[in-house]
Amino acid sequence: MTDTAAVEILADVHRGVGRILLNRPKALNALTTGMVVAIDRVLAEWERIPLSAVVLASTSTKAFCAGGDIRTIREHSLAGDAEASERFFASEYRLNARIAEYPVPVVSLIDGLCMGGGLGLSVHGSFRVVTERAVLAMPETGIGFFPDIGASYFLPRLPGAIGMYLGLTGHRLDAADALYTGLATHFIPADGLDAVGDALADNPGDPVDVVLNRLAGRSPVAESGLAEVRGDVDWAFGAPSLGEIEKRLRHLETPWAAAALVAVESASPQSLEITHALLARGREHTLRECLDAELALTRTTIRTPDFLEGVRAALVDKDRTPTWQRASLGGRTLSA
């Protein structure tokens, strides 16, 4: 293959609708720098032609996108190649901003896993369609990292303390939870996804929302498990400090609180501190300001023992038993 990224990203324009397919199924569409740059280039070119919408989807039923290729970032860090990591994150965040500011609606079709960088591709667009197989999460604190791709912008803007809960614990949302939180906008059964592009092309004058509603199945939002524990989520994760969050979770003595406590206690302490500070501040900043702060944080975080150890345990050796050590990032970086 002369251009791997071109094969891993399939793009065309069909009757006024741009279509981008993520096509790296064996890696669950984990994003490489080449893939990110390829998507960004396509979107930049399409800004010059009249489109009614852009559809972003996957060739795999297992995953929309499982996130950035973090294993490769770890390899760069071990090799001392800071420039390669910087290029990845800067390219990814530039793409996030482009999607957020895109002149026509971007419609993401989320079938299967959508984590980290996958949310960066979808959440900043106008419409996020989920199927019954959708699973959404920001699991970064479990690998010694922090919720990035603009998460410090969109998580604090979710209702109540849901964003802090998702950012600190990496809790996985099903379709019902995704719709309840607003991370997803529409529910369409998996067997109806292929009809979306044609429906948008057939009805270029209709609002995208109306076209998607015509294809929608019965929304599962009433079955949201998160909705059932919402009061506890807001009370515990609305606490002003990490210590107080843990204290309130212990006080609740419910199965949900016990599971949340396990998630918090097994995450990297360094990551929890960074994440709590980032999300507490994110509501006051624009998306671009949040992305800039996140980019500054990546430079230090990916060099820390917790990041190297977290990725090793989750993605390299896959033993799921990271040994965390506290590594100070210093106040200067956290306030970036």
Catalytic residue numbers? 68, 117, 140, 148
Q: Whole-angstrom Cα distance, residue 328 to residue 336?
A: 15
Q: Whole-angstrom Cα distance, residue 79 to residue 102?
A: 36
Of the candidates 324, 325, 322, the residue with the CA atom closest to the CA atom of residue 312: 322
Q: Give Cα 202 to chain centroid, integer Å.
A: 30
Q: Whole-angstrom Cα distance, residue 223 to residue 221?
A: 5
Residue 1 CB coordination number (10 Å): 7
Residue 269: HSE in the Cβ half-sphere, 13 Å Cα cutoff: 8
Q: What residue has token string 């064996």?
A: 26
The answer to whether 331 and 296 are in contact (CB under 8 A) is no
Q: Whole-angstrom Cα distance, residue 282 to residue 304?
A: 23
Q: How far is CA 4 from CA 23, 24, 33, 74, in A?
A: 10, 10, 11, 21
Strands 186-187 and 127-130: what pairing? parallel
Residue 233 CB coordination number (10 Å): 23
The tokens of 27 are what? 């890696």
SS3 107: strand
* CB proximity list for 274: less than 8 A, separation 6 or greater: 146, 297, 301, 329, 334
SS3 26: helix
